[in-house]
Amino acid sequence: MTPTPPLSTPPVTPTRDRAHVPLLAVLGRGLTFALGLGFALLPAYGPFAGLLLLLRGRRARWSLQRSDLLWWGSALLLALPLGLHGGPSGFLFGAAQVLAPWLIFRAFFRLHGARLRLETSWVGVGLLTGLATLVALGWLQEGSGALAERAAALIGPTRGSLYGHTVLALGALVAVLLRRGRYQVLSLTLSALGVLISGSREAAVAWLVVAVALIFVGKTRTPRKRAAFGAAVGVILVGASLLGPLFGWGSAGFLLDVAPPPAEASRNLLQGTEVANGDWWQAVGVHVEAHPVTIGDAALTGYLLTKTDPAPTSRLQQPVTLEAGATYTLSAWLRPDAGGRPARGAQPGLQGWGQPLGEDEAFTLEGTLEGGRWEARVSGAGQLLDAGVLETRGAWRRVYLSFAYVGSAPRLDAWVGFAPDARTRAGTRAMFAGLQLERNLASPYTPGALTQGLSLQRTRVAYWQTAWRGFLESPLWGQGELFPRFFRATWPDFRQVSALPSHAHSLPLQLLYERGLIGFAGLLLFVAALTSHALRKGDAAFLVVVAALLVANVFDTTLFSGGVLYPLAAVAGWRAAAYRFARTGERDSATRQFGVRLSLMIVDFAAATLAFSLALWTRQLGTLLGMPAINPLAASLEVARYALLLWPVMAWREGLYPGYGLTAPQELRKQVVSAAYAGLILAAGTVLFRVQLPIPRSILLLTILYSMVLNPAARALTKRLLQRAGLWGRPVVILGAGRAGERIARALGQSPLDGLHPIAFFDDDPAKQGRVIAGLRVRGRLADADRYALKRGVQHAIVAIPTATPELLAGLINIRGRVFKRVQFIPDLVNLPSEGVYASDLDGLLALEVRLGLYSRANQLFKRAVDLVGSVLGGILIAPVLLALAVWIKLDSPGGVFYWSTRIGQKGAPFKCLKFRSMFEDADARLQEMLARDEAVRAEYERFHKLERDPRITRAGAFIRRFSLDELPQLFNVFRGEMSLVGPRPYLVQELPDMRGFQETILEAKPGMTGYWQVSGRSDVTFEERLVMEAQYVRNWSPWWDLIILVQTVTVVLQRRGAR
């Protein structure tokens, strides 16, 4: 047979809607470019241009869609609570929050009829130009002067979450629209710069999620292109990490959009000086303890610093920006005796440092208290103007030093802060308070304002607690009261923030507080409306952007701002129209596989986190038994946030995402190996980085052991949930509908959790065309498989043609390989093991090396060790059960408690198999009588070697057989080495002739208390099928399979499946 050339996919030619007018014909190139420019540069207004363009069409009639009902329902639910609290104006405001983006969504849904290829049109150029301009204007605000003021007037302030979330949304959406890799990289680069300028940490995390996800959700990228795109994302990350500290862009912490403090409270240029655990502080070589102190009439936060690093530059500091030629005064309260404790001759003081760009010498300032005298000096691009002691209050002294920055650069990014000891020694300590940096001469201390960033634990948590408390007071309709007023009433002593928060800084909590459950239901309906088309059509890229913005809005409330929402609605409408003409099979496959991989990664990380938590709990429980106490808090925070990511990383390395086609033993082995690797790497990290990873060895060992149990269990549960949801698995086609193909189809159909789901046969035999074999239809000839696969996005084929000629095999490899990413060949080697087979090249020929695990001496010793431990421990644990069953059997019917049956063991050696007696004493005679009298009973016994309704069984015997309790005494045979915990069934002597060619293979292993056929069908399989299954077990034995069978035995017994 000559291989057929691959069939190319015909181009998709969508039907043009007559109501649509080509966009270029309406606008021309200039205005088309302006549309893209305005969309990105003014995202809160630009998308409304779509409405104007739509009205210019001759037939701008809209038809009702099902998604419109979601939009309107969301508008109603979000507006009702505001209408209840604020009257008609409140209702209209709530409705407008949804109806405005709905109009934009419908407008861009219709405008897609222009069929523009954005990456080659002037709209795409305008989008990138607008985004670049928006980022450039944000960067200009970092400077000073009229240009910075004009930039701020045009786009608003850039220091805050709103700007960060806006450039995040625009960059991600433009990357989704412009599908070419180079344009996506450019868009993500511009977005990263904007996020860096804003300093919004949640926006940075969301950007990373989008960038990584776009590597995998691109439908047309080859592996080479994916690698290149991933490398570009890495370069962007490296560049951002280098540019940020170099230019001083952004600031640390979760940023808030709060009003600036009053002018009289803004003298202190430092941030949050009364909040000890703010993210703006950086401790370098010192240990910090915060204590409330009173100096005169002022209640301040005192900082007790202990040097842990002998370096003289060890200090507690925060960043500042100094302008050339300006005069500054740095002052602070200082207590040399460290708050009443001996200072051991410390020389505390104030320090500052900065490296001007283009200059070799660093700017440094240092003030030191030596022997009661305050001495100050400035070096480098600085000039000392004055220094001294302002006042003394008891043991406290307020010291200061005035200086000027005289470098050539217009600005200098520097650090200033407290230094406990200027000498090279560790262990000294001193106490400070009231750090202030101000322009000109010294003035009374005022706390630094918090207009740039706040600590999550100290402030965001307080906001969230307040919002939750307000929700609980009015859960259905919300509070209606302004959040700042409610916050002030809830926290009257909250003095750390100079301006009250304008909202809860969490969109879900803000809506629950403001609009209750009604409003929160409106939010869910709104998200459903925004993503309904993407979910149905499988638009994974757009769904990733929405998910990232929702994650960012857990820490702020920017989703309903025009700069974020209107571009999102516009792109949602555009993509919804675009995907009407895409191929469903490929979309669904790409989206489903991405969702499956992401779900498995999240579950693995969650299981590892749970394992670590259980290890902490177990170790703390051990202190009650006399073990040394530990303080695992610091370790738990670091490990849970970073180090436990090793578990999903190692699982990815083992090919477990998603891991389709792996057998249960292979999957378990890979999971245990990945957990072991993750644990070993973490153990190495605890040795190399003891300070950063102070994890006790006991906790580390327990984490590894727990994860070896929890991760496989969690993955098994997740696979079943994904299968029930219709997400688990990959469609495959089978080339060849003969006996081999039918066997493959039946095997895959019986094990859906393996993840390979056959959907069609293809065969060149005319007699098989259209037939249904093993539940699958033969869809055509082998040459038709290409078109079928392309249409449905199938990328996996199984070739089951054992009699294929070399020419046909070559054609299948060379031609089908262009369509199918994965092609498996099934050889006609029925009795060859499928486990422990290794392919190798033998002088240009394919060689298969077989390694039978059960023949290995090491494996035999391991299996015997497991049997000994299991039989001893199991016998001890179930001894009370054995005693109770023995008494019941004795009282139920005359005869002995145990039944000794002669069975065939390993190598054909007979042995006495011990069981609880479940039949009457004359059971054998009754059996022979029934077989001779009833032909139907004889046929059933010959087929199954068991009877479904066996009158020989006693009442107690029926119970113990139902739950397989009659076989528990066989632990004695396991202990003696005659049986194993897992193995083939112990056969009767008279059954040897019926075993035929399977006898030699099966008798290579010891009989087992449980086995493969017991957990696969128990008494529901025929004797012939049982022989095949047990021969397969012996050929493919592995310790992982034994472990799986032991676990499955418990489930099968409790379900009473197939018991007789």
State how far the alpha carbon of 921 is from the alpha carbons of 860, 894, 959, in Å.
Answer: 38, 8, 17
Structure tokens at 997: 């060619």
What pLDDT is stored for residue 40 in this prediction? Answer: 79
Question: How does DSSP classify residue 919?
Answer: B
Amino acid 666: pLDDT: 87
> How buried is residue 907: exposed, middle or buried, by Cβ count under 10 Å (0-12/13-18/19+)?
exposed
pLDDT of residue 313: 85
Parse the chain into domains and list their residue ranges: 32-56+66-252+521-582, 266-439, 586-724, 730-828, 857-918+953-1055
Separation of alpha carbons 1026 and 1029, rounded Å: 5
Band the pLDDT of 277: cuts 50, 70, 90: low
Q: Are 100 and 75 in contact (CB under 8 A)?
A: no
Spatial contact of 343 and 428, defined as CB atoms under 8 Å apart: yes
Per-residue tokens: 472:
């609980």
**Which of these, 836, 788, 767, 846, lies nearest to 813 by C-alpha position?**
846
C-beta of residue 460 within 8 angstroms of C-beta of residue 375: no
Q: Report the DSSP beta bridge partners of residue 67.
A: none
Winning range, highest mean pLDDT, from 433-442, 825-834, 931-940: 433-442
pLDDT beyond 50 at 46: yes
Distance CA 334, CA 399 (A): 7
Residue 894 CB coordination number (10 Å): 8
Query: Over the Cα atoms of the chain, what is R_g?
Result: 37
Residue 721: which pLDDT band, with cuts at 50, 70 and 90? confident
Region 266-439: CATH code: 2.60.120
Q: Say which range, 792-801, 815-824, 973-982, has the weakest mean pLDDT.
A: 815-824
Q: Are strands 396-405 and 756-762 parallel, antiparallel or unpaired?
A: unpaired
Query: And the tokens for 374?
Result: 């305050």
Please give the single-letter amino acid code of residue 690. R
Determine which of 146-155, 396-405, 733-742, 907-916 has the lowest per-residue pLDDT on average.
146-155
Q: What is the DSSP letter of 456?
A: I
Which amino acid appears at position 405 of this protein? Y
pLDDT of residue 258: 34
The H-or-E segment that residue 382 falls in is: strand 382-393
Instruction: Please determine, for residue 6, whether its predicted confidence score (pLDDT) is greater than 50.
Output: no
Q: What is the pLDDT of residue 148?
A: 52
Does the pLDDT at position 583 exceed 70?
no
The better pLDDT of the pair 1057, 854 is held by 854
**Cα→Cα distances 183→644, 824, 827, Å:** 34, 37, 47
Residue 671 in contact with residue 711, Cβ under 8 Å?
yes
For residues 523-542, average pLDDT = 83
Asked whether the beta carbons of 171 and 544 are under 8 A apart, the reply is: no
Find residue 912's DSSP bridge partners.
902
* Burial (0-12, 13-18, 19+ Cβ within 10 Å), 948: exposed
Q: For residue 969, what pLDDT band results from cuts at 50, 70 and 90?
A: very high
CB 733 within 8 A of CB 797: yes
Q: Is the pLDDT of residue 505 over 80?
A: yes
157 forms bridges with which residues in the sheet?
Answer: none
Q: Do residues 432 and 417 touch, judged by C-beta distance below 8 A?
A: no
CB 351 within 8 A of CB 343: no
4 pLDDT more than 60: no
- Average pLDDT of the residues in 274-303: 83
Q: What share of the chain has pLDDT > 90, as a percent?
A: 15
Which superfamily does CATH assign the domain made up of 730-828 to? NAD(P)-binding Rossmann-like Domain (3.40.50.720)
Q: Report the mean per-residue pLDDT for the chain.
A: 79
Contacts of 146 (CB under 8 A, 6+ apart): none
Nearest C-alpha neighbor of 1059 from the set 1011, 1020, 1002: 1020
Nearest to 794 by CA among 768, 826, 756: 756
pLDDT at residue 880 greater than cutoff 70 = yes
> Mean pLDDT across the stretch 457-473?
77
Q: Are 405 and 381 in contact (CB under 8 A)?
A: yes
pLDDT at 398 over 90: yes
Q: For residues 60 and 46, what is the distance between their CA atoms, to the nearest angstrom?
A: 20
The continuous run of DSSP H or E covering 453 comes out as none
- pLDDT value, residue 395: 85
pLDDT value at residue 458: 45
Note the pLDDT of residue 160: 59
Cβ burial, residue 1023 (10 Å; 0-12/13-18/19+): middle
Residue 251 · residue 272 · CB < 8 Å: no
HSE-up of residue 264 (Cα within 13 Å, Cβ side): 0
- What pLDDT band is residue 252 in, cutting at 50, 70 and 90? very low
Amino acid letter, residue 160:
G
Model pLDDT for residues 161-220, shown as the tens digit of each residue: 788 888 888 888 888 888 777 888 899 988 888 887 776 777 888 888 888 888 877 555
H/E element, 973: helix 971-976
Structure tokens at 504: 């809860």
Mean pLDDT is lowest, of 260-269, 534-543, 822-831, for: 260-269
Q: Lowest-pLDDT range, 254-268, 596-610, 808-822, 950-964?
A: 254-268
Flag whether pLDDT at 332 surpasses 90: yes
Residues 6+ apart with CB under 8 A from 577: 108, 109, 110, 112, 113
As a whole number, mean pLDDT of residues 304-323 equals 88
- Statement: residue 5 has pLDDT above 60: no
Which two three-digit tokens encode residue 353?
Answer: 């440092």
List b or e across 175-205, with b for residues whose CB sees 16 or more CB atoms inside 10 angstroms. bbbbbebebbbbbbbbbbbbbbbbbbbbbbe
**CA dist 961 to 126, 647, 968, 1005, 1060, Å?**
77, 42, 11, 25, 7
Task: Give me the mean pLDDT over the 591-614 stretch.
Answer: 82
Sequence letter at residue 199: G
User: In this model, does residue 386 exceed pLDDT 90?
Assistant: yes
- pLDDT tens, 403-434? 999 888 888 878 899 999 888 888 888 999 99
Which of 944, 81, 1011 minimizes the C-alpha distance to 471?
Answer: 81
Q: Which neighbouring-strand residues pair with 316? A: 283, 418
With a cut of 50, say whether residue 812 has pLDDT above it: yes
Residue 836 · residue 853 · CB < 8 Å = yes
pLDDT at 775 (0 to 100): 87
CB 846 within 8 A of CB 853: no
Judge whether 1060 and 948 are in contact, CB under 8 Å.
yes
CA distance 819 to 813: 10
Most confident of 261-275, 811-825, 833-847: 833-847
Buried b (16+ CB within 10 A) or exposed e, 971-1007: bbbbbeebbbbbbbbbbeeeeeeebeebbebbbbbbb
Q: Which residue has the tokens 């610091």?
A: 634
